[in-house]
A and B are shown apart, each in its own frame.
Chain A
Amino acid sequence: MITGEALILAASALGAGTAMVAGIGPGFGQGYAGGKGAEAVGRQPEAQGDILRTMLLGAAIAETTGIYALVIALILLFANPLIPLYTGL
């Protein structure tokens, strides 16, 4: 028989996997930033230091989305708040 807890654990595994699909966004976004950065360096080589820094600053902000997905997945895997909630009922 499928116990309630097993169902929650199964759903948590699926949830963790699905959360990571969010990696598509920053993956493409930071790639776009990298491409435009390379193009900008090609156009203005003497501004290369500033281009690099702006690109990295923007990429770091985009990184936060990937970090959110990773944090949620890790919470679902390691510190699952739903199981104690279920057992507490």
Chain B
Amino acid sequence: MYAVLRFIMDAGFDWLAEQDPQALILAGSALAAGIAMLARIGTGIGHGYTAGKAAESTGTNPKMVRQSTFIMLLGQAITETSGIFSLVVALIFLYANPLVGLPEAGLVVVASTLGAGIAMIAGFGPGVGQGYAAGKALEAISHRPSLQPPVVRTMLLGQAISQTTGIYALVIALILLYANPLLY
């Protein structure tokens, strides 16, 4: 078994070594852009949950449909902020790739692009979490509409705090892209 694995590894690395480094970097960027967008699953779930709760809250309290819609859009806008970052990183890979012309060892640059892409998957968590927070806030407001200010304030606070780890991932990805300490 080990011999087979070794053979595959050797063949793989030999093939890799033959490729032109720049092509490898661009291939890595393409993969990374795709991987980065995985985080949007979370944002999608979060938006869906908020929208579902908004519909439910309009059901329980029909006369405040305008309020529910406003809070739903507010909650979804904040959920979107943590999702937008993975779109931005993907677009950076495609249109404004800082790692393309680098003369350094291609393998490190390829790994950096993949690393940045994988890091952005962390946006999955905040996406779902913020959507959940907005949904629960909508539910609470539908039962007691007069309590909108404190509930919305708690929702905003909860959403902002849950976004931090998505921001950590963005910072690490941007470090890997622009201020990569491994290259020099």
Contacts and interface: CB of A to CB of B under 8 A. Distances in A.
Interface of A: 1-3, 6-7, 9-39, 41-43, 45, 48, 51-52, 55-56, 59, 63, 65-66, 69-70, 73-74, 77-78, 80
Contacts of A77: 172, 175-176, 180-182
Interface residues of B, number: 67
B168 A20 contact: yes
Contacts, number: 237
Given A14-B114, A31-B126, A31-B129, A3 B105 contact: yes
B90 interface: no
B169 to A, nearest CB: 4
A39 to B, nearest CB: 5
Given A30-B129, A31-B158, A42-B151, 7 more contacts: A19-B119, A29-B129, A30-B162, A38-B137, A59-B162, A73-B168, A77-B175
